[in-house]
């Protein structure tokens, strides 16, 4: 109870500045905490995360608690059921503090596309906290929650983790259920854990992962031993790949500097560094921004103003088609409209093969490049993002510049592999966090934690943990 009360007090003290949360479920959190204390008093068995507070991205349905997906389209909607991830958190006695801010329908790289206003980066409140899961990452970095849940369609867990100095993991596609997670791009979306340490992320990963018959894309295989890997981190004898396509023009000097230091550290810890050439990765951004909008245009067709959520113009003077049009005009923001239009065009008659079909062929080539790479190495490392956090508003009028924030993360989503971002220091030119990305083959998520834990321990010994020791006060 005291832990929950302390975090609720922290939220009350700082979230007006940060705006990490869209809804704080104070009464629900306190009730969950009391239930955990009662179990403990009765001597009942508790899980490793029992009573630990958590911030939940506002894309997962939560019974009795508003779920808006950062959009006016679902403002005030209270789901009648829990997502599988929500169910598993509750079953593990995790205390859900509330729902975090995000880019509308998870479409964005900065949390500026939220219909409820942007979130600030606790390192510098004038900077973005990443996106689409900036609320979850900011909640961690501002110490409003020790754990959080995000979703990753093109980097929306890893990119926020990188720019806020936290740990974020995109599990293998299908390893964490998507049931009850509002869909953006169904073949890419993946929920995952966010935390301040690799071990904390592993403990949360183990809670939410596993087969779910309610999700047709769920993998019916045992969850990899991620906690054991995080507790026994080592890279001794491992082959670590460095892809030449993940550096060059557009990369900030301080990001490359910290990445090169991380590679040198891996070698020092006993890893063999292998240079890799994955030519199809250069096409990943283009392929992603055809596949994701195409799937989004299909998924968001259900928001028609007739079944649930916002309804505009239903005054008896408009047809059903006009009500749908008026509702979508009022309910969707500019980025969502942009992607729906792009996706609808790419799927239209005469253009399907030229655009969507070609993008899917590129996706196959990217997967083949990963397959070839993983014949030579155990994991791949790269910068998580080309730059540190940029200023709020800096890229608002330049969608292409915004999309480039996901340059390093998108190939993994297209292939379905597992990936992690963890802090690897601060860029010297702006003193903002830099993320190291680790990529593992499908269902080898434990390798992320084995490498991540070893690197994290070495960072702490050499330079100190960049978040815990140097995070700014609010």
Q: What is the pLDDT of residue 109?
A: 95
Active-site position among 71, 114, 132, 280: 132
**How far apart, in whole angstroms, are the C-alpha atoms of residue 409 and residue 1?**
38
Q: Are 127 and 121 contacting, i.e. CB atoms less than 8 angstroms apart?
A: yes
pLDDT tens sequence across 120-144 = 999 999 999 999 999 999 999 999 9
Residue with tokens 């910290």: 258
pLDDT at 466: 54
Cα–Cα distance, 446 to 222 (Å, whole number): 12
pLDDT of residue 464 exceeding 80: no
Rounded Cα distance, 309 and 104, in Å = 14
- In the prediction, which pLDDT does 242 show? 98
Q: 1: buried, middle or exposed (CB in 10 Å: 19+, 13-18, 0-12)?
A: middle
Residue 333 confidence (pLDDT) above 60: yes
Which pLDDT belongs to residue 473?
62
Q: Which of 159-168, 374-383, 394-403 has the lowest mean pLDDT?
A: 394-403
pLDDT (tens digit per residue) in 95-123: 999 999 999 999 999 999 999 999 999 99
Is pLDDT of 49 > 80?
Answer: yes
Secondary structure of residue 39 in the 3-state scheme? helix
Residue from 57, 99, 170, 444 carrying the catalytic annotation: 57
Using pLDDT thresholds of 50, 70 and 90, give the confidence band for residue 469: low
Residue 470 confidence (pLDDT) above 60 = no
- How far is Cα 172 from Cα 413, in angstroms, rounded to an integer? 9
- Yes or no: say if 348 and 361 are a contact pair by the CB < 8 Å rule: no
210-214 long-range contacts (CB < 8 A, ≥24 apart) are 210/88, 210/175, 210/177, 212/84, 212/177, 212/179, 214/84, 214/177, 214/179
**Per-residue pLDDT, 255:** 97
- The beta-strand segments (E) located in 101-187 are 147-151, 167-170
Query: Percentage of the chain with pLDDT > 70?
Result: 98
**Does pLDDT of 413 surpass 90?**
yes
Answer for the pair 37, 84: CB distance below 8 angstroms, yes or no. no
Report d(CA 387, CA 253) in Å as an integer: 8
Share above pLDDT 90 across residues of the chain, in percent, rounded to a whole number: 91
pLDDT above 90 (res 244): yes
Q: Is 132 a catalytic residue?
A: yes
Catalytic residue among 109, 110, 114, 156: 156
Cα separation, 389 vs 162, in Å, equals: 9
Report the distance separating Cα 351 and Cα 442, nearest Å: 32
Structure tokens given for 319: 């047809």
Instruction: Give the mean pLDDT of the chain.
Output: 95
């Amino acid at each position: 109870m005291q832990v929950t009360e302390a975090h609720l007090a922290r939220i009350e003290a700082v979230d007006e500045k940060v705006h990490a949360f869209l809804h704080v479920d104070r009464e629900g959190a306190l009730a969950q905490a009391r239930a955990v204390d009662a179990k403990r008093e009765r001597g009942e068995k508790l899980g490793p995360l029992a009573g630990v507070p958590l911030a939940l991205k506002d894309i997962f349905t939560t019974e009795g608690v508003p779920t808006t997906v950062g959009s006016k389209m679902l403002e005030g909607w209270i789901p009648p059921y829990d997502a599988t991830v929500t169910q598993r958190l509750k079953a593990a006695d995790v205390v859900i503090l509330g729902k975090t801010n995000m880019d509308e329908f998870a479409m964005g790289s900065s949390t500026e596309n939220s219909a409820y206003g942007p979130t600030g980066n606790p390192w510098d409140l004038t900077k973005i906290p990443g996106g689409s899961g900036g609320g979850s990452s900011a909640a961690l970095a501002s110490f409003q929650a020790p754990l959080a849940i995000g979703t990753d369609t093109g980097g929306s867990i890893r990119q926020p983790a990188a720019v806020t100095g936290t740990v974020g993991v995109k599990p293998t596609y299908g390893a964490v259920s998507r049931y009850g997670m509002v869909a953006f791009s169904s073949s890419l979306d993946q929920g995952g854990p966010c935390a301040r340490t690799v071990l904390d992320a592993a403990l949360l990963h183990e809670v939410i992962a596993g087969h779910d018959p309610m999700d047709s894309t769920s993998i019916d295989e045992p969850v990899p031993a991620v906690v054991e890997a995080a507790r026994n981190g080592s890279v001794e004898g491992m082959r670590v790949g460095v892809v030449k396509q993940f550096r060059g023009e557009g990369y900030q000097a301080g990001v490359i500097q910290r990445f090169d230091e991380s590679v040198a550290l891996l070698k020092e810890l006993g890893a063999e560094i292998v240079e890799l050439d994955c030519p199809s990765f250069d096409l990943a951004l283009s392929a992603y921004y055809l596949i994701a909008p195409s799937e989004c245009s299909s998924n968001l067709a259900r928001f028609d103003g007739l079944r649930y959520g916002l309804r505009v113009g239903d005054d008896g003077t408009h047809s059903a088609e006009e009500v749908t049009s008026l509702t979508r005009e009022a309910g969707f923001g500019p980025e969502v409209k942009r992607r729906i239009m792009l996706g609808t065009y790419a799927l239209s008659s005469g253009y399907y093969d030229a655009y969507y079909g070609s993008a899917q062929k590129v996706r196959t080539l990217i997967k083949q490049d990963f397959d070839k790479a993983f014949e030579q190495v155990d994991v791949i490392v790269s910068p998580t993002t080309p730059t540190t956090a940029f200023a709020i508003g800096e890229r608002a009028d330049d969608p292409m510049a915004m999309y480039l924030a996901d340059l390093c993360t998108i190939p993994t989503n297209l292939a379905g592999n597992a990936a992690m971002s963890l802090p690897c220091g601060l860029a010297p030119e702006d003193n903002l966090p830099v993320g190291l990305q680790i990529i593992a083959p499908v269902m080898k998520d434990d390798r992320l934690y084995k490498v991540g834990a070893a690197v994290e321990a070495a960072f702490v010994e050499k330079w100190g943990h960049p978040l815990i020791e140097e995070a700014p006060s609010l």
